[in-house]
Structure 1
Amino acid sequence: MFETARYEASRRLRGTAALAGGIAVLVAFFVWYFSVLDVEGLTQAMESLPPAMLEAFGIETIATIEGFLAAEVYNFVWVLGLGLYFAYAAGGLIAGDVEHDRMDLLVSFPVSRSWLLIEKFSALLVPIIAVNIVVAAVVYGGAAAIGESIDLAHLVLVHALSIPYLLTCAAIGTVFSVIFDRADVAKRAAIGLVFALFLIKSVTANAEGYEWIQNVSPMNYYEPTPILIDGTYQLADVGVLLVVFTVLLIGSQVVFQRRDI
Structure 2
Amino acid sequence: MFETTRYEMGRRVRGTAILTVAIGLYAAFIVWYFTVLEGVDYDQMLESMPPAMMDAFGIETLATIEGFLGSQIYSFVWLLGLGLYFAYAAGGLVANDAEHDRLDLLLSFPVSRSRLLLEKVASLFLPLIALNVGVGATVYVLAAVIGEPIDVANLALAHALSVPYLLVCAGIGLVLSVLVDRAAVAERAAIGVVFVLFLLESVVGGADELEWIQYLSPTYYYEPTPVLIDGSYEPIDAAILLTAFVGLVIVATVLFDRRDV
Q: In structure 2, how many angstroms separate the alpha carbons of the residues matched to 1:52 and 1:121?
A: 35
Q: In structure 2, how many angstroms separate the alpha carbons of the residues matched to 1:154 and 1:112?
A: 41
Partner in structure 2 of residue 169 of structure 1 = 169
List gaps (5 residues or longer) in structure 1: none
Q: In structure 1, how many angstroms separate the alpha carbons of the residues matched to 2:57 and 2:122?
A: 31
User: Contact (CA 8 Å) 1:226, 1:232: kept in 2 or not?
Assistant: yes
Q: Which moved more, 1:40-49 or 1:108-117?
A: 40-49
Shift of the 45–119 alpha-carbon distance from structure 1 to 2, 3 Å rule, reads same
C-alpha deviation, 1:44, in angstroms: 1.4
C-alpha deviation, 1:209, in angstroms: 2.3
Partner in structure 1 of residue 111 of structure 2 = 111
2:238 equivalent to 1:216 = no
Partner in structure 2 of residue 99 of structure 1 = 99
TM-score by length of 2: 0.98
Partner in structure 2 of residue 155 of structure 1 = 155
C-alpha deviation, 1:39, in angstroms: 4.7
Q: In structure 2, how many angstroms separate the alpha carbons of the residues matched to 1:120 and 1:171?
A: 12
Corresponding residue SS for 2:40: helix
Corresponding residue SS for 1:101: coil
Partner in structure 2 of residue 36 of structure 1 = 36
List gaps (5 residues or longer) in structure 2: none
Q: Deviations over 1:126-170 (max 9, x none)?
A: 001000000011100000111111011000000000000001000
Partner in structure 2 of residue 248 of structure 1 = 248
Shift of the 146–246 alpha-carbon distance from structure 1 to 2, 3 Å rule, reads same
Q: Deviations over 1:4-27 (max 9, x none)?
A: 111111111111101111111111
Aligned positions, number:
261
Partner in structure 2 of residue 74 of structure 1 = 74
2:182 equivalent to 1:191 = no
Partner in structure 1 of residue 129 of structure 2 = 129
Partner in structure 2 of residue 86 of structure 1 = 86
Q: In structure 2, how many angstroms separate the alpha carbons of the residues matched to 1:64 and 1:180?
A: 46
2:180 equivalent to 1:180 = yes
C-alpha deviation, 1:233, in angstroms: 0.5
RMSD over aligned Cα atoms: 1.0
TM-score by length of 1: 0.98
User: Contact (CA 8 Å) 2:204, 2:213: kept in 1 or not?
Assistant: yes
Q: In structure 1, how many angstroms separate the alpha carbons of the residues matched to 2:9 and 2:129?
A: 12
C-alpha deviation, 1:54, in angstroms: 1.9
User: Contact (CA 8 Å) 2:86, 2:166: kept in 1 or not?
Assistant: yes
C-alpha deviation, 1:51, in angstroms: 3.3
Q: In structure 2, how many angstroms separate the alpha carbons of the residues matched to 1:248 and 1:128?
A: 18
Q: In structure 1, how many angstroms separate the alpha carbons of the residues matched to 2:49 and 2:6?
A: 49
C-alpha deviation, 1:230, in angstroms: 1.1
C-alpha deviation, 1:103, in angstroms: 0.6
User: Contact (CA 8 Å) 1:56, 1:205: kept in 2 or not?
Assistant: no
Corresponding residue SS for 1:11: helix
Q: In structure 2, how many angstroms separate the alpha carbons of the residues matched to 1:11 and 1:90?
A: 14
- Residue type of the partner of 1:257? D
Corresponding residue SS for 1:62: coil
User: Contact (CA 8 Å) 1:172, 1:190: kept in 2 or not?
Assistant: yes
**Runs of 4+ off more than 6 Å:** none
Q: Deviations over 1:70-94 (max 9, x none)?
A: 0010001000000000000100000
